[in-house]
Chain A
Amino acid sequence: MVELSTVDLLIASMLVMLLALLSLRQQLNISRQLIIAAVRTAVQLTLVGLVLKVLFENATLGWVMLMALFMLFVAGREVMMRQERRFKGWWGYAAGTFSMFLSSFTITVFALVVILGNDPWYEPQYAIPLLGMLLGNTMTGIAIAMDRLTHAAWEQRHIIEARMMLGETSNEAISGYRNQAVRSGMIPIINAMAAAGVVSLPGMMTGQILAGALPVEAVKYQILIMFLVSAGTGLGTLAAVHIGARRLFDSRQRLCLDRLREP
């Protein structure tokens, strides 16, 4: 494996600088964002590298859980921020975070205990990257699905109420939009699985190969990850949309759009 030096990374960063300059000249108004994002990548990844180093040296369940919860809460915030008409108050945060906890944590623990079978099962070298992959993908799925659901409820409010005026339950009136929301949350991972290896080489596998792993071994891990991620995204999206669709109505099955934030 070729070790990368700081100079190597600086050279790569010049490409980003070049792009920033180009966007500045084209007046794309995106150079600032680009630079900030690039700096964030460098700082955040360096920090997480250090944190992982310490965590690997102190592999106790307590520290691993603390790291896992921190990742969950950050992902929960990200899910919330990506929704335009999210639920007001703590619901906006809790619906997504709880669903991610439910799906990502369960599936990570399942994979660690049943499939990988390390001793101890929470071995951070496996637990943290696995959870990270799951959270990252589940986050996207849940954010897309919840955004779709709350948007549909707002835009189709007249139809939803018209159906209830004709004696449909709130569940019947929203079910079409609810299913559509779940589908749109799951499409990215389905597409990723369908295109894997043909159109794209997934990042994790590429990383492993670059780091010197045998391609066949890297592929097996990638397949495992893909399966875990699709299960996690599906479960998380289902849970979040289910919670969200219920929260859109009160106990008398009235559509409560005042529970959504204005965009």
Chain B
Amino acid sequence: MTVSKAPPLLQINRLHRLMVGPLSLVVDEGDCLCISGASGCGKSLLLRAIADLDPHEGQVSLQGVPATAIEPQLWRSRIGLLPPESYWWLPQVKNHFRNGMPLPLEQIGISAGILDQPVARLSSGERQRLALMRLLSNRPRILLLDEPTANLDPVNTRLVEDVITAYRRENKAAVIWVSHDVGQVARVANRHYEMRDGDLHATDIEGRQWLS
């Protein structure tokens, strides 16, 4: 009898969508994997394909279970995608938090009173941070973050980075994080890839070429 090793948290096998891939990737519990690359190179397409929002070839599995074996809505609540732009469809902020607040809003530099406000009054930075909270309230095992601090000042950027890192540790989660900020990659990532010609190329954390 052989003792089988537990399957990786997220396994991507020959994923192919338009100009992305085919690419394969293994993400383990606790990983924070940053992806950089020129705009339009397919980073967002890759994240959308992992969340199964677009048709694609290849297979993505969560703890050994392929996406096709899981109801799409369950898959998407376990693999939480945070797109660069957030959308709100109910009148007030709090209406969007049916599962409650994952952590005190003060931790991301927002006062709790904002929950009673109409969505239209939020600034772009507040929207971005609240969209992250909304995503975390689903308790996803994988976070797919598409430039989650693009609209934030340096102070709030650090707050958000800390919240994501703490969430990852407490929930044994993993993060795939699209970022163009070399400093941010150095602060949050344990693996760094550059996306070029539809494939992921491992790069060291300071941004120098490591493998080609």
Contacts and interface: CB of A to CB of B under 8 A. Distances in A.
A159 interface: yes
Interface of B: 51-55, 67-68, 72-74, 76-77, 80-83, 85-87, 89, 134-135, 138
A192 interface: no
Interface centre among B68, B73, B81, B85 (most CB of A within 10 A): B73
Given A159-B87, A162-B83, A162-B89, 17 more contacts: A158-B85, A159-B89, A161-B53, A164-B53, A165-B81, A165-B83, A165-B135, A166-B77, A166-B134, A166-B135, A166-B138, A168-B73, A169-B72, A250-B55, A252-B55, A252-B68, A253-B73
A62 interface: no
A250 B72 CA distance: 11
A163 interface: yes
Contacts of B87: 158-159, 162
A254 B56 CA distance: 11
Interface centre among A169, A170, A250, A255 (most CB of B within 10 A): A169
B86 A162 contact: yes
A121 B138 CA distance: 59
A164 B86 contact: no
14 contacts: A158-B87, A159-B89, A162-B87, A164-B53, A164-B72, A165-B51, A166-B138, A167-B73, A170-B72, A250-B55, A253-B72, A253-B73, A254-B54, A255-B53
B38 to A, nearest CB: 24
B28 to A, nearest CB: 23
A165 B137 CA distance: 13
A240 to B, nearest CB: 24
Interface of A: 156, 158-159, 161-170, 250, 252-255
A249 B73 CA distance: 13
Contact of B138 (A158, A167, A169, A253): A167
A202 B55 CA distance: 51
A169 B73 contact: yes
Given A158-B85, A159-B87, A250-B55, A165 B80 contact: yes
A223 B87 CA distance: 47
Nearest to A165: B81
Contacts of B134: 166
A170 to B, nearest CB: 8
Contact of B73 (A158, A161, A164): A164
B77 A167 contact: yes
A125 B67 CA distance: 58
Contact of A252 (B52, B89, B138): B52
A164 B134 CA distance: 13
Contact of B76 (A156, A159, A167): A167
Contacts of B76: 164-167
Contacts of B82: 165
A167 B53 contact: no
Interface centre among A156, A158, A164, A165 (most CB of B within 10 A): A165
A254 B134 CA distance: 21
Nearest to A161: B53
A163 B135 CA distance: 10
Given A158-B85, A164-B73, A169-B73, A254 B135 contact: no
B85 A165 contact: no
Given A165-B81, A167-B74, A254 B89 contact: no
A254 B73 contact: no
A167 B83 CA distance: 14
A163 B73 CA distance: 10
A164 B51 CA distance: 10
